[in-house]
């Protein structure tokens, strides 16, 4: 089973002093396509006004702007799964997992970045900042990655069950073309985004700890504090609805 996951706005700093190359990412044959976006981003950082950078980064803090306007090609590299932090990543707590569970995540989780496109959890990336929904040079980044990476992703995913835990925004970076499952979390009959992020991370951790191979295996798991409410099928998507108890 492959799990599709969202990135996070906040990142961990640091890493290994090394320049990324085609071997840093899944689909090395598409590295030059990926670099088109990264080069444009890097160029924009060097030429944009402070106001443009405030919008791009989603902050007015001068120290943050100064940190993230530096040359991205000179920034240290860290595994994507360790680079991102935030509610889902806190609940996953990757660094505290057993090595076997970490390897499961490295091998089976795809993270969809609004700058780098699709990443394996084990791919190494620099620290960067790009507010969700923002762009540069009027580029349609989601469309670019959907157009250029979908064919390879289709082949990569063809023999696996797919659990899509992405937030809706990142569905535009890759449209799944085979049957897949999603999870929805409600409390008192309402969708709550904070709890949804937390349970995405928690469930990913449980999946990794149990070495889940198929969605049938997943459905046999006992999930604490969650009650299965209904299963909705719509075309290729099957939505599993849980209430938080």
Report residue 39 as tokens.
């080069």
Tell me 79's DSSP state.
E
What ranges in 30-136 are assigned the alpha helix state H?
31-47, 50-57, 62-68, 80-83, 87-92, 99-108
Predicted pLDDT at 193: 79
Residue 182's region, left for phi above 0, alpha for psi from -120 to 50, else beta, is beta
20-28 long-range CB contacts below 8 Å, 24 or more apart? 20/73, 20/77, 20/124, 20/125, 20/126, 24/77, 24/123, 24/124, 24/125, 25/116, 25/119, 25/120, 25/123, 26/110, 26/118, 26/119, 26/120, 26/123, 26/156, 27/118, 27/149, 27/152, 27/156
Report residue 78 as tokens.
């860290």
Summarize the confidence of residues 5-13 as an average pLDDT: 96
Summarize the confidence of residues 124-142 as an average pLDDT: 96
Predicted pLDDT at 195: 85
Predicted pLDDT at 65: 96
pLDDT, tens only, 172-201: 999 999 999 999 999 988 888 778 999 999
Predicted pLDDT at 138: 93
Q: How many CB atoms lie within 10 A of CB 169?
A: 13
Q: What's the pTM value of the predicted model, to 2 decimals?
A: 0.96
Cα–Cα distances in Å, from 128 out to 58, 122, 157, 166, 187?
12, 17, 28, 20, 34
State the Cα–Cα distance between residues 194 and 76, nearest whole angstrom: 30
Spatial CA neighbour of 64 closest among 54, 74, 77? 54
Number of domains the chain is built from: 1
Summarize the confidence of residues 8-24 as an average pLDDT: 95
Predicted pLDDT at 192: 82
Summarize the confidence of residues 19-36 as an average pLDDT: 97
State the Cα–Cα distance between residues 161 and 142, nearest whole angstrom: 24
Summarize the confidence of residues 118-127 as an average pLDDT: 98
Structural domain span for residue 8: 2-244
């Amino acid at each position: 089973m492959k799990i599709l996951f969202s990135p996070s706005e906040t990142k961990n700093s640091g890493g290994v002093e090394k320049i990324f190359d085609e071997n840093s990412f899944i689909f090395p044959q598409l590295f030059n396509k990926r670099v088109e976006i990264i080069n444009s981003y890097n160029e924009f950082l060097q030429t944009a006004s402070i106001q443009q950078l405030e919008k791009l980064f989603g902050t007015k803090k001068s120290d943050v702007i100064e940190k993230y306007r530096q040359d991205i090609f000179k920034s240290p590299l860290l595994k994507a799964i360790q680079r991102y932090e935030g509610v889902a990543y806190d609940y996953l707590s990757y660094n505290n997992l057993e090595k076997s569970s970490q390897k499961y995540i490295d091998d089976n989780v795809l993270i969809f970045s609004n700058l780098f496109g699709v990443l394996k959890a084990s791919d190494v990336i620099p620290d960067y900042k790009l507010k969700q929904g923002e762009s540069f040079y009027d580029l349609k980044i989601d469309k670019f990655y959907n157009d250029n990476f979908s064919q390879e992703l289709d082949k990569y995913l063809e023999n696996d069950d797919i659990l899509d835990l992405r937030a809706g925004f990142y569905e535009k970076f890759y449209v799944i073309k085979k049957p897949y499952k999603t999870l929805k979390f409600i409390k008192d009959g309402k969708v709550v985004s904070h709890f949804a992020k937390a349970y995405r991370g928690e469930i990913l951790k449980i999946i990794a700890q149990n070495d889940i191979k198929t969605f049938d295996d997943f459905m046999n798991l006992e999930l604490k504090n969650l009650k299965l409410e209904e299963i909705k099928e719509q075309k290729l998507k099957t939505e599993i609805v849980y209430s938080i108890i």
